[in-house]
Structure 1
Amino acid sequence: MRFATYEHRGRRHCGVVDGAAVRPFPDGTTLLGLIHSGLPRAATELAALSDPVSLDAVRLLPPLEPPSVRDFVTFEEHIEGVRRSQERTQDVPEAWYDAPTFYFTNPHALIGAHDDVPYPPGSRLLDFELEVAVIIGREGRDLTPEQARDHIAGYTLFNDWSARDLQIREMQVGLGPCKGKDTATTLGPYLVTPDEVEPYRDADGCLRLALTSEINGEVVGKDLLSNMSWTFEEMVAYASRGTVVRPGDVLGSGTCGNGGCLAELWSIRGEQVPPPLKPGDTVTLTADVLGSVRNTVVPGPEPVPLPTGRRRPRSRP
């Protein structure tokens, strides 16, 4: 099954996707509420659905408003590319192989599958990142990967928009990215239940889904989701270690390789080709089974001026 959250005639709805249409659930139904009640059973137990609405007539919203968003980095090829561009080496740190590293990103910056993306204030180097995410369906703590599979409600596309110049500068402080990742994250177009992707699972437990990135209709990257070095179940298990994952939590795979973002291509080619995204550019990301998201970059606001850090005297009481 596929579930969508959308706006139609000024009102927010949730429904099940049926071909080129969506069948809305009763007013007040939210996908997060259905996840708490248990997908897909909770959806099938609802009252009779209303007449279908054409997907062409709605504005797709992020499938849900998640309690938290973790973004992992599970593609070895992406790490090689980033290291090559930022640290002049393509060696992957041995620590990367220890566990599936992640950072927390902004759950309030999610945008829909076809929404415009404002340029991040103060940036001149905007990039996209092609990822897939899982959405947690059941609360769990200290899960094994085998247990984690039953805690996944579904899958969706994830575009981690990145202001590379802001990111590179702020990460020199020794913390993870903050404003470099804070303006927008595309989530959508739908939540796709696990049974839809299960036929694509390989012998290692990874999902062999083809991934494609395009800018203004030109293909710039292709990869397979199965090139992840950890499965989603292993990622969920690690995220739950010593803490709790809750229904609606979003876990991104991290950026795929072979053109999953511009920064990787720049490092390989030694020049900014394709150039950084600019207002008017449209980025389309596609994954087998999951569908496509298509966002156009638009001008953003100028940054509100702030002073630089003050060099304070080291006085003591």
Structure 2
Amino acid sequence: MRIATYLYQGRRHCGVVDDTVVHALPDETSPLDAAAGVPPVGPAVPLTDVRLLPPLEPPTIRDFVTFEEHVEGVRRSVDGVGGVPDAWYDAPTFYFTNPYAVVGPYDDVPVPPGAQVLDFELEVAAVIGREGRDLTPEQARDHIVGYTILNDWSARDLQSREMQVRLGPCKGKDTAATLGPYLVTADELEPYRDPDGFLRLALTAEVNGEVVGRDLLSNMSWTFEEMVAYASRGTVVRPGDVLGSGTCGNGGCLAELWGVRGEQSPPPLKPGDTVTLTVEGIGTVSNTVVTGAAPVPLPTARRRTRERP
């Protein structure tokens, strides 16, 4: 099942997508309710007549980094260091990003204030459907309700500077995160599962119609079930939580290509550029970069006397 959240004739709806049309579900139906099998009540409406919104409003977004090739390239580009940190191999590391920054599959994306080096990141995200704590990977499979595309927009210049403080990324990844076009229920993607438990989905990234990256989701070093298990260790995952795969390799973002090529080719994104990401079995999102707000000036840190009472 493909579940959409959309605007139609000024009203917000949740519906089930069937080819080129969407069937509305009862008012107040959430995407997670829809995944449980709530039957449609409305007539079929062409997708061309609706504005697709993010398929859900997640309470949290954990973004992992599970592609070794991505780590190699971006580390060289952002930090100027080659290789993969030994600690990366220990566990599927993640950070929490901003759930308030979620944008729809075809919305414009503003340049973050003060950023000069904007990048996209092609990911797939799992969505939690049931609460769980201290899950095993085997248990975690039943807690994943479905999947969607995630574009983790990144201001590389802000990110690189901020992370020298050993925190972050903060404003480097705080302005936009695309989700969409649909929430595709987990059963739809089972035919793509390989013998090792990975989803073998083709991933493609384009900038202004030119392909800049291709990869397979099955090149992840951990399965989504293992990621969910790790996320639930010592805490809870709850319905609606989003867990991103991390950026794929072989051009899943520009920074990886910059690290491999030793130059910013292709160049950073600018207003007017359109980034189109396609994931087999899920669909396509396409966002155009627009001019963002200017940063509100703030002072640099004051050097204090360090007096004590």
TM-score > 0.5, shorter chain as reference: yes
Gaps of 5+ in 2: none
What is the rounded CA distance, in whole Å, between the counterparts of 1:7 and 1:266 in structure 2? Answer: 38
TM-score, with length taken from structure 2: 0.98
Shift of 1:57: 0.9
SS of the equivalent of 2:69 reads helix
Query: 1:140-181: CA deviations, max 9, x gaps?
Result: 000000000000010000000000000000000001200000
Is 1:234 the counterpart of 2:226 in the alignment?
A: yes
Shift of 1:94: 1.1
Kindly provide the amino acid, as one letter, of the partner of residue 241 in structure 2: D
TM-score, with length taken from structure 1: 0.96
Residue of structure 1 equivalent to 2:31? 31
Is 1:40 the counterpart of 2:36 in the alignment?
A: yes
Is 1:78 the counterpart of 2:70 in the alignment?
A: yes
SS of the equivalent of 1:236 reads helix
What is the rounded CA distance, in whole Å, between the counterparts of 2:80 and 2:109 in structure 1? Answer: 31
What is the rounded CA distance, in whole Å, between the counterparts of 2:80 and 2:31 in structure 1? Answer: 44
Kindly provide the amino acid, as one letter, of the partner of residue 10 in structure 1: G
Select the residue among 125, 128, 149 that pairs with 1:136.
Answer: 128
Query: 1:113-156: CA deviations, max 9, x gaps?
Result: 00000110000110000000000000000000000000001000
What is the rounded CA distance, in whole Å, between the counterparts of 2:26 and 2:221 in structure 1? Answer: 41
What is the rounded CA distance, in whole Å, between the counterparts of 1:96 and 1:214 in structure 2? Answer: 28
Residue of structure 2 equivalent to 1:21? 21
What is the rounded CA distance, in whole Å, between the counterparts of 1:183 and 1:176 in structure 2? Answer: 14
Residue of structure 1 equivalent to 2:246? 254
CA contact (8 A) 2:202 2:215 kept: yes
Gaps of 5+ in 1: none
Query: 1:208-240: CA deviations, max 9, x gaps?
Result: 000000001000000000000000000000000
Shift of 1:90: 2.6
What is the rounded CA distance, in whole Å, between the counterparts of 1:153 and 1:119 in structure 2? Answer: 32
Shift of 1:82: 1.4
What is the number of residues matched between the two proteins? 309
Shift of 1:85: 1.7
What is the rounded CA distance, in whole Å, between the counterparts of 2:305 and 2:146 in structure 1? Answer: 53
Shift of 1:254: 0.2
1:179-258 equivalences under 5 Å are 179-258=171-250
Kindly provide the amino acid, as one letter, of the partner of residue 212 in structure 2: V
Name segments (4+ residues, structure 1) moved above 6 Å: none
SS of the equivalent of 2:116 reads coil
Kindly provide the amino acid, as one letter, of the partner of residue 11 in structure 1: R
Q: CA RMSD in A?
A: 1.0
What is the rounded CA distance, in whole Å, between the counterparts of 1:301 and 1:91 in structure 2? Answer: 36
Is 1:308 the counterpart of 2:300 in the alignment?
A: yes
CA contact (8 A) 2:78 2:156 kept: no
Residue of structure 2 equivalent to 1:168? 160
